[in-house]
Amino acid sequence: MVSFSSLEFLFRFLPVFLGIYFAVPAKYRESSLLLGSIIFYAVGEPVFILALILCTLVNYYFGMEIWKLGIGFEIHGWQKKKRNSLMIQAVVLDTAVLIVFKCLAVFVDSSLLPVGISFYIFKMISFQADFIRGEIWSKPSFRQTAVYFTMFPQIVQGPIMRYHEGDFEHEKHVSLEQLEEGLAYFVMGLGMKALLADRLAILWKDLQMIGFQSISTPLAWLGAFGYSLQLYFDFWGYSLMASGLLVMLGYPFVENFNHPYASRSISEFYRRWHMTLGSWFRDYVYIPMGGSRGRKPRIVFNLALVWILTGLWHGNGFNYLIWGGILGLFIILEKLFLGNMLKKIPAAGNIYVLALIPLTWVVFAITDLKKLGIYFSRLFPFMGGPGIAVNQQDIITYGMNYGIYFIVGIVLCIPAVFKFVDKHKKNPITVLALALVFWASVYFLSSSAGNPFMYLNF
């Protein structure tokens, strides 16, 4: 049970858990969340729950050792060195665990990668670093720490919430208003997943079955834009569901997407896309290396390293490294001179993003480099290709079949549209619309095998 869009989660786990969570006194809600999260993860990962528990124990130990040396008040030089040494040990250990499991998945069996390990390991690293950064001012209890690491709304795919953002020091007082608000976000996300992302996923699967060498150039571009929307609504949908669950439980809403397709540069796009991951790399990798404070060669090196690491984090295929390298290159160019040019003509920035990002998602999606080359030869016929005849009318068929999903997806990419729905989510008409979205989503989920969220692979 690792998918929020499964019927088992929607009609078994969630109603039972919420009933218990709301019924118990406030002082026991943390414990019920911890137990519920362990059960949630153990059902999906009965073996790897031990890795999660062991990592939790080890990171709590290191955190408390750092705390003993002084947090939030004047400390001596030797204490600072000892704290830094302990933090480095914890981070190295966490990173080693992640690398070992990633290598096992690559060289032995992909099933040896625990679901969500990248996300909870990143939370553990931020937990240690935030002690040094002065972000954690009160001593966490083991229960609070364990809840932070394991809470089921975030354990599988994030968002990567920081410890101090969860306000773990205070009891969680929940209300029907919070339940209603969180449920609205949850249903919005479910609709994006089941009614948009999963429908657009069929288009991409069709292109793979046909064979990239057999599709026309217009259909290749339709596929690139379709995959871009599919990935967006799959992951934005998940993030809304996860944050909606947090709101239901009395925790703050964690924003993970801020209408990235309205961006005017690649840099801005990735400040708006998967925001908690981007800010994690910024705060715990880029800035500690010097960020943008040094000379241009150093800044270029820092950006290049961050994007290489980002590519490696997303997957073990060489295409992910290429994907990260391409994005790093354009962000470096924007940092050096391209960004100033784009600011002078905002519309050009929008076109630049909408043209380039789908191409990078194609690189992200196709792990076979030979097939990737074929796809690009279809996108850009002047590059040459295998020369297999194609059906030039295929774009008409697929355009008619998937046009409605593209229209709805494009409309939802407009910031004002979602903001309007969000502002009026308690309006009776909106509530009725969300009810229809929920049951339509359930219908599609029950009538298909179901697609797991795409970021479960990371």
Instruction: Please tell me the predicted confidence (pLDDT) of residue 456.
Output: 52
Identity of the amino acid at 405: Y
Instruction: Please tell me the predicted confidence (pLDDT) of residue 343.
Output: 85
Report residue 245 as tokens: 């669950």
DSSP state of 10: I
Question: Of all residues in the chain, what percent carry a pLDDT higher than 70?
Answer: 94
Say how many Å lie between the first and final Cα of the chain, rounded.
17
Number of H helices, E strands in the chain: 21, 0
Lowest-pLDDT range, 74-78, 137-141, 340-344, 410-414?
Answer: 74-78
Helix (H, G, I), strand (E, B) or coil at 120: helix
Report residue 295 as tokens: 């000379």
Q: Is residue 2 pLDDT above 80, yes or no? A: no
Q: Is residue 363 pLDDT above 90, yes or no? A: yes
Give the span between the Cα atoms of 40 and 49, in whole angstroms. Answer: 10
Q: What is the pLDDT of residues 87-111, one digit of tens each?
A: 999 999 999 999 999 999 888 888 8
Instruction: Please tell me the predicted confidence (pLDDT) of residue 29.
Output: 93
Rounded mean pLDDT, 124-137: 90
Report residue 428 as tokens: 């009776």
Instruction: Please tell me the predicted confidence (pLDDT) of residue 316.
Output: 79
Instruction: Please tell me the predicted confidence (pLDDT) of residue 42.
Output: 92
Instruction: Please tell me the predicted confidence (pLDDT) of residue 33.
Output: 95
Residues 6 or more apart whose CB falls under 8 angstroms from that of 205 comprise none
Cis peptide before 159 (omega within 30 of 0): yes
Residues 6 or more apart whose CB falls under 8 angstroms from that of 258 comprise 271, 272, 275
Strands (E), 42-126: none
**Which stretch of DSSP H or E encloses residue 452?**
none
Q: What is the pLDDT of residues 9-47, one digit of tens each?
A: 999 999 999 999 999 998 999 999 999 999 999 998 888
Residue with tokens 């229209």: 407
Rounded mean pLDDT, 351-368: 95
Question: Of all residues in the chain, what percent carry a pLDDT higher than 90?
Answer: 66
Instruction: Please tell me the predicted confidence (pLDDT) of residue 64.
Output: 93
CA 23 to chain CA centroid, Å, is 31
Active site residues: 314
Instruction: Please tell me the predicted confidence (pLDDT) of residue 10.
Output: 93
> Closest Cα to residue 321, out of 334, 304, 333, 335?
304
Q: Is residue 387 pLDDT above 60, yes or no? A: no
Q: Is residue 271 pLDDT above 80, yes or no? A: yes
Evaluate whether 226 touches 219 at the Cβ level (below 8 Å). no
Instruction: Please tell me the predicted confidence (pLDDT) of residue 44.
Output: 85
Average pLDDT along the chain: 90
Q: Is 333 exposed, middle or buried (0-12, 13-18, 19+ CB in 10 A)?
A: middle
Q: What is the pLDDT of residues 316-346, one digit of tens each?
A: 788 999 999 999 999 999 998 888 888 888 8
Nearest-10 crossing angle of helices 142-150, 29-44: 40
pTM: 0.91
Give the span between the Cα atoms of 308 and 126, in whole angstroms. Answer: 20
Q: What is the pLDDT of residues 273-320, one digit of tens each?
A: 999 999 999 999 999 988 888 788 899 999 999 999 999 888 878 899
CA atoms within a 13 Å half-sphere pointing along the CA-CB vector of 246:
26
